[in-house]
């Protein structure tokens, strides 16, 4: 006999949605009549994320009804008509339409959101067989933390190519995204989701920020060879001047050794108090006094000059990290054991 699945991770509205869809429209309509609009909206949204209900889930959520469905591989649900009929039978037209319209909007705004509920290894097994352009589109639309895991799972020779395609990805039509979304969730038998945004550098950076160091290195090596300018843009987005507040004091002192006095003065012109405190705490008393005097006497400075000075310091930090002198503290393999 198969083990009953653990339903502790299911939310209340999710469990209610499963139970009511098993019970049918008439019963659900009567239950909805005793619920407020917010509760109906929450349960209806969860119903929209259900294509089928396995016998195991039915047994876990509604033990009393498992015998009726035990011989079936799964119960197929026409969720759109089910939800529409129940909501319209329960509420007045204006209220029902408002909930249904809001439900449709939520579905449209969250493409591939169902991927959070799918084992990443299983998901990667399906995705890896797709064309790199399709993989790029999928990763660009999934939650960044899922895309990071998927990029890690891709073959080394594909990682850089996929990353480049994400960075160059333009606006994808909602219809195309929906088609890919529907096809992938169908292959995965039960996960659900909706459709439509674009890729681009920031999307890629969000993904890279969650991958391990080896994946980041493989991606950046590929991008550097194919498009050095893009590689530089990605690095600038991945680590900015204010991020230096998070590094340890030893690393900060190493960086300050490579920074020219005027660069540091310009860089601190727009710096946060936290950054200024970080800098001054790693300078000698004499150097700190000189820097304060320079800041106090400095007149108006072009913003571009300030940004250039900050970027120069960030580049110095990255060079020190590249040669192993310091660790900027980014990435999953920074954990000490």
Residue-by-residue DSSP string for 89-140: HHS-HHHHHHHHHHHHHHHHH-TTGGGGGS-HHHHHHHHTTS-HHHHHHHHH
Looking at residue 71, its pLDDT comes to 40
Among residues 189, 179, 75, which one has the least CA distance to residue 122?
Answer: 189
H helices of 154-280, in order, are: 156-168, 174-187, 201-208, 213-226, 228-238, 249-257, 261-267, 273-280
Quick one: how far is CA 118 from the chain centroid?
14
Spatial contact of 252 and 217, defined as CB atoms under 8 Å apart: no
Read off the pLDDT of residues 183-215 as tens digits, 9 standing for 90 and up: 877 777 543 333 334 456 777 877 776 676 678
Spatial contact of 171 and 112, defined as CB atoms under 8 Å apart: no
Which stretches in the chain have pLDDT values below 50?
A: 1-2, 64-78, 108-109, 190-198, 331-337
Spatial contact of 192 and 49, defined as CB atoms under 8 Å apart: yes
Among residues 188, 131, 197, 141, which one has the least CA distance to residue 162?
Answer: 131
Residue 321, number of CB atoms within 10 A of its CB: 19
Contacting residues for 174 by C-beta, under 8 A, at least 6 apart = 108, 195, 196
Contacting residues for 327 by C-beta, under 8 A, at least 6 apart = 247, 251, 321, 334
Domains of the chain as residue ranges with CATH? 12-109 (no CATH), 115-225 (1.10.220.30), 239-334 (1.10.220.30)
Spatial contact of 43 and 16, defined as CB atoms under 8 Å apart: yes
- The span from the CA of 218 to the CA of 215, in Å, is 5
Looking at residue 25, its pLDDT comes to 78
Looking at residue 110, its pLDDT comes to 58
Task: Read off the tokens for 97.
Answer: 């339409």
- The span from the CA of 197 to the CA of 195, in Å, is 8
Task: Read off the tokens for 222.
Answer: 């590929």
Spatial contact of 187 and 126, defined as CB atoms under 8 Å apart: yes
The residues facing 38 across adjacent strands are none
Which strand (E) or helix (H) includes residue 76? Answer: strand 75-76
Looking at residue 332, its pLDDT comes to 40
Looking at residue 14, its pLDDT comes to 80
């Amino acid at each position: 006999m198969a083990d009953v699945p653990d339903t502790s991770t299911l939310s209340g509205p999710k469990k209610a949605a499963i139970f009511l869809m098993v019970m049918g429209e008439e019963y659900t309509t009567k239950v909805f009549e005793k619920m407020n609009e917010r509760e109906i909206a929450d349960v209806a949204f969860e119903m929209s994320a259900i294509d089928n209900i396995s016998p195991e889930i039915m047994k876990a959520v509604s033990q009393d009804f498992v015998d009726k469905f035990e011989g079936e591989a799964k119960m197929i649900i026409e969720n759109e008509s089910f939800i529409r009929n129940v909501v319209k039978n329960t509420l007045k037209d204006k209220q029902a339409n408002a909930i249904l319209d809001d439900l449709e909007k939520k579905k449209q705004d969250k493409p591939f959101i169902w991927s959070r509920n799918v084992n990443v290894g299983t998901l990667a097994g399906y995705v890896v067989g797709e064309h790199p352009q399709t993989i790029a589109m999928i990763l660009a639309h999934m939650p960044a933390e899922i895309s990071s895991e998927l990029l890690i799972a891709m073959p080394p020779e594909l990682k850089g190519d996929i990353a480049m395609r994400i960075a160059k990805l333009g606006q994808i039509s909602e219809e195309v995204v929906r088609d890919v979304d529907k096809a992938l969730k169908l292959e995965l038998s039960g996960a659900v989701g909706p459709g439509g945004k674009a890729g681009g550098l920031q999307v890629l950076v969000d993904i890279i920020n969650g991958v391990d160091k080896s994946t980041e290195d493989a991606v950046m090596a590929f991008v550097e060879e194919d498009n050095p300018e893009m590689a530089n843009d990605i690095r600038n987005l991945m680590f900015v001047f204010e991020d230096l507040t998070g590094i340890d004091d030893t690393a900060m002192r190493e960086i300050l050794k490579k920074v020219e006095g005027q660069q540091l003065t310009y860089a601190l012109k727009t710096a946060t108090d936290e950054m200024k405190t970080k800098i001054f705490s790693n300078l000698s008393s004499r150097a700190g006094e000189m820097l304060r005097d320079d800041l106090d006497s400095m007149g108006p400075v072009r913003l571009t000059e300030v940004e250039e000075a900050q970027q120069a310091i960030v580049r110095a930090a990255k060079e020190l990290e590249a040669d192993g002198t310091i660790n900027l503290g980014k990435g999953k393999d920074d954990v000490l054991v």
